[in-house]
Amino acid sequence: MRRTRRRTTSLRTVLSALIVTGACATAGFVPAATATAQPPASDGVLAAMQRDFGLTRGQAETRLATEKAATATERQARKAAGSGYAGSWFTARDGRLTVALADGAKADAVRATGADVRLVDHSARQLDAAKARIDDLKAPTGVASWRVDWQANSVVVDVVAGQRSDNDVKDFLARARRAGGALKVETTDHAPGTLAAGTVGGDPFYTGNVRCSIGFSVQGGFVTAGHCGGAGQGVNGWDGSYIGNIQGSSFPDNDYAWVNVGSGWWTVPVVLGWGTVSDQLVRGSAEAPIGASICRSGSTSHWHCGTVLAKNETVNYSQGAVHEMTKTNVCAEPGDSGGSFISGDQAQGVTSGGWGDCTGGGETWYQPINEILNRFGLTLNTA
């Protein structure tokens, strides 16, 4: 947060409250140098996982450790599978990573990495190519999203309930089938929407009358959602003071933006716990597999956890389709847009949109952080 003479809060608390949302918190920031060993996550992340997954602390720690191991295994297995790689997913029940494989000759090499193998017909490259052809189509509002489903080894299109017989939807599905990729059609009761909100005093940052949440610190600024504002717009903090400008933004097609930080503001590698849980240091951006646990911080609904459900999903908002999104069953609410998705201490992405709320539950999509960093040539701030 911005330094002013009015604020007598210690540097420790200021740093804790600074980056992710710009709002005050009482939980302390613990520099990495003071720790004798790095725990799998902060007490806050573990507490949120216990609440949202019904786990004990020991079970939460074990799950994070097995997910971290699965993330490392996935990289090795993907290399061993080569062109036969057809996706992967983590199963929390047994702590195993499964790799789908379209080339049986590579099965032993993949198993040698510690992963289980499922033989399938279509490689990830084939399915991604089929989905890319569907991405070129213009979807009607009755189509909620489409994605490559690695476990089903197909491209899945979600149609809003009651819209299957709509002529525009039927035409879209006919064209999508011609794209190939073993197309499957499923029904959803919910249409996705973005999660920006009108101005509310005391919240983290504003572009005009829109309130959103800061995602992650990068060198020179922070990243957030693209639908929160366009390039060149000024950004103000929770206290109304000027932070900087949106340097780059894309929405729809993508949903990401980055903001330069100056005027007395600065950045630290912290995701805010909002006083409900302790704050979490960010140590990297290793991508968690499907099935892994994940937590989200936002300025409206604060800390909530869930599971990674799908990757590379195209979400069809009313403003247009957004590509390469990751779907989770973490809840979110208006104003949480742009906020942080984190797995353990690894940054995952920024909140885009979804359906539902944190009373009745729902699903939320995020734009992966590594895509954003690569797109703008940014470097993640890490502890």
Contacts 24+ apart (CB under 8 A), 11-15: 15/268, 15/270
d(CA 322, CA 314): 6
**Which of these is catalytic: 337, 340, 343, 352?**
337
Structure token digits, residue 239: 């206290």
**Which of these is catalytic: 122, 227, 302, 304?**
227
d(CA 92, CA 95): 5
d(CA 55, CA 51): 7
Q: Identify whether the C-beta of residue 261 lies closer than 8 Å to the C-beta of residue 8.
A: no
The per-residue b/e assignment along 303-337, b for 16 or more CB within 10 angstroms, e otherwise, is bbbbbbbbbbbbbbbeeebbbbbbbbbbbbbbbbb
Question: What are the two backbone dihedrals, phi and then psi, of residue 110, each rounded to the nearest 5 degrees?
Answer: -70, -40
**Catalytic residue flag (residue 337):** yes
Helix count and strand count (H, E) for the chain: 7, 23
What is the DSSP code string of 270-297?
EE--BTTB--EE--B-PPPPBT-EEEEE
Q: Which residue's entry shows tokens 């799950």?
A: 63
Contacts of 194 (CB under 8 A, 6+ apart): 225, 227, 255, 317, 319, 337, 352, 353
140 preceded by a cis bond (ω within 30 of 0):
no
Handedness of CA 109, 113, 119, 120 (dihedral sign): negative
Structure token digits, residue 53: 């997954």
Q: Which residue's entry shows tokens 């710009």?
A: 22
**Catalytic residue flag (residue 255):** yes
**Catalytic residue flag (residue 304):** no
**Which of these is catalytic: 255, 279, 336, 345?**
255
Residues labelled as active-site residues:
227, 255, 337
